[in-house]
Amino acid sequence: MQNWLLPDYLSDILPAEARRIEELRRRLLDLYRAHGFEMVTPPLVEYTDSLLVGQSDSLSLQTCTLVDQISGRNIGVRADMTPQITRIDAHLLNREGVTRLCYCGTVLHARPAGLLSDRELMQIGAEIYGYEGVEADIQVIQLALESLMTAGVSAVRVDLNYPGITRALIQAFSGFNQDTITKIYTYLKDKDKTSLALLLDQYPTLPAQIKSGLLALPTLYGGVEILDKAQEILPPLAEVQKGIQSLRAIVAELNTAQLSIDLADVTGYAYHTGVIFALYADGWHEALVRGGRYDNLSEAFGRARAATGFSLDLRKLSTHLTPASPSKAIKAPWLNDKALNSQINALREAGYIVVQELPNSHISVDEFIFEQELVFEQGEWQLKKIAD
């Protein structure tokens, strides 16, 4: 047995990558702090009753579960931190006004999202609780864009959707069973209008407006002009109109961004209720950021709160960043010398990297370049340039 092998789609993070991830993590958390977000850190493992709220089958399938040896209850390794942050806001903080929370931690997926995806992600994100207006959605989208800008990503495209439109059309007809609803979502995801039409033909009492609206969804993708088309052909249901108006408000605020709209996009977790979005960029095979509104999720924790936010994977984002140059460092001997140790401490406090070489050894590193060393000359420790 080769003890050094890891399970599929899991990998170690080596020094250069770990440094890039950590530096980006610090910059993003500082950015969120500057916008008034408070950081929280939930546990890696929770009872599945808490982790799997919102009746999200996709989240349930992605969660690795086991039995707690103390309580005997089922526990899970988080696959998404959003339900945990929602629990903290609704149950622990228990605030009445608007709350802004940010977070960063590891999540584990039972299966990779794609062939080029990892199962272990470093998730970082920001959430706004307690505000129902579209202004909060705009704020988190703008912060998500600024996050990618901070990471050096350019030419970002914003994809928007409002899943409540699809949900409203389906719920307007009581004759659909759960199996049919699942098929509708599958055909919408695949843009399979032919199969969708054959399925809907099996329901002769389905109102013509609802049928035509569902069949129109696979065609409602493209630029912002799609909203005018949707206004014309979709039935005037309250939730449909609310969705279109919310998307119009966001488009108006993000007029400098590259935008696209797909009203048949049903990707993501089922707990989303309002506007959802994804950020893409040239050279990346999948979305860099996903987010949206999920007002109903906190009800599972005993207190209904409006909520919207986003998250991204730091590991994935760091893979396309320019490799960091090795840092300049100072080499010093390992001696029981007060003057030497005082000099080393002073250099470190001033921001220099000082590496002490252990006796009868040599330093083996990739992240540092030694251009200077501490040597004892003329009765004192001095910095000297290392000869090539």
241 is annotated as contributing to ligand binding: no
239 is annotated as contributing to ligand binding: no
**Torsions phi, psi of 374, nearest 5?**
-90, 120
366 is annotated as contributing to ligand binding: no
1 is annotated as contributing to ligand binding: no
Distance, CA of 217 to CA of 116 (rounded, Å): 29
Distance, CA of 101 to CA of 333 (rounded, Å): 45
Distance, CA of 164 to CA of 365 (rounded, Å): 53
**Torsions phi, psi of 207, nearest 5?**
-55, 140
- State the alpha helices, DSSP H only, in the chain: 15-34, 48-51, 57-62, 82-87, 134-150, 163-171, 178-189, 193-200, 208-216, 226-233, 238-253, 314-318, 338-349
Amino acid at 110: A
**Torsions phi, psi of 49, nearest 5?**
-60, -35
What is the DSSP code string of 7-66?
-TT-----HHHHHHHHHHHHHHHHHHHHTTPEE----SEEEHHHHTTT--HHHHHH-EEE
CB contact at 8 A, 138 and 253: yes
123 is annotated as contributing to ligand binding: yes
Between helix 238-253 and helix 226-233 the angle, nearest 10°, is: 170
Q: How far does CA 98 lie from the centroid of its chain? A: 21
3-state secondary structure labels for all residues of 113-159? CCCCCCCEEEEEEEEEECCCCHHHHHHHHHHHHHHHHHCCCCCEEEE
Q: What is the dihedral of CA 134, 266, 296, 306, to 10 degrees?
A: -20
**Positions at the binding site:** 80-82, 123, 127
**Positions at the binding site for L-histidine:** 80-82, 123, 127
